[in-house]
Amino acid sequence: MKEKEQTETARSGGKVPVRNAVNYDKKMREILASFANGEKSGVRVLLHSCCAPCSSACLEILKDYCMPTVLYYNPNIDNREEYEKRKAEQIRFLNETGWADFIDCDYNEEAFEKIADGKEQCPEGGARCYECYKLRLYAAAKTAKEKGFDYFASTLSVSPYKNAAWLNEIGFAAEKEYGVKYLPSDFKKQGGYLRSTQLSAEYGLYRQNYCGCRFSRRAAEEREKEKGGNRAE
């Protein structure tokens, strides 16, 4: 099955892995190196962050090349208590490292429920997840445009459970929609995910075992019951 066909199958509800034919990590590093000849520059990058652990490895890279700001927009998180817990960890991490500024957003679970409507039976990694990626990346692009950032990006690709091909496809579509540059990435490459676990341990960060939505929570609970499994997102 060709890559395009695989992507369309997964969007329609099937869980089909998509080969990432483009080296988005290489593209990102080439762009970063172009900022002030590879030195820290005044280029402003708005980084959508799902949580502090995922942001850690991403910011460790970005901080040496640009002026990153974290955008915490995650309406997929299934309850306010969890939302606030993750946000507090994000703020604490940024306060301790000084690696980025912070922009908060209102908790708006209705936005996620709207895109999830009719996709309740989709498997994790399928069409519902695609729309969730799109919801958050488009919000990042819109905010970046409104606030005068040079680029926008997302931490989501640091997770080995997230589809980098989809994320970059959506990012470039949002770039066209809002007229602000998208910074391509695949932050899990070159040991990015492992580095996020190391930084999480170093700073004592709370690492959740599910992505955030009620569907991923249910899947995590089922894993624990069936296998005793406990993965960190």
Please write the tens of the pLDDT for every residue from 107-143: 999 999 999 999 999 998 999 999 999 999 999 999 9
Q: Which residues contact 98 (CB under 8 A, 6 or more apart)?
A: none
What's the pLDDT band for 229 if we cut at 50, 70, 90? Answer: low
The answer to whether domain 24-227 has CATH 3.40.50 is yes
Give me the residue label for tokens 């960060």. Answer: 205
**pTM above 0.85?**
yes
Tell me how far apart the alpha carbons of residues 195 and 72 are, in angstroms, rounded to a whole number: 21
Across 4-8, 66-70, 212-216, the highest mean pLDDT is recorded for: 66-70
Q: Which of 97, 89, 100, 91 is nearest to 65 (CA)?
A: 100
Instruction: Give DSSP secondary structure letters for 201-219.
Output: HHHT----SS-SSHHHHHH
Q: What is the pLDDT of residues 78-94, one digit of tens each?
A: 999 999 999 999 999 99
Give the H or E element holding residue 115.
helix 109-116
Q: Are 183 and 28 in contact (CB under 8 A)?
A: yes
Q: What is the pLDDT of residues 10-33, one digit of tens each?
A: 455 544 445 558 999 999 999 999
Burial class (CB in 10 A: 0-12, 13-18, 19+), 202: exposed
SS3 17: coil
pLDDT of 17 reads 45
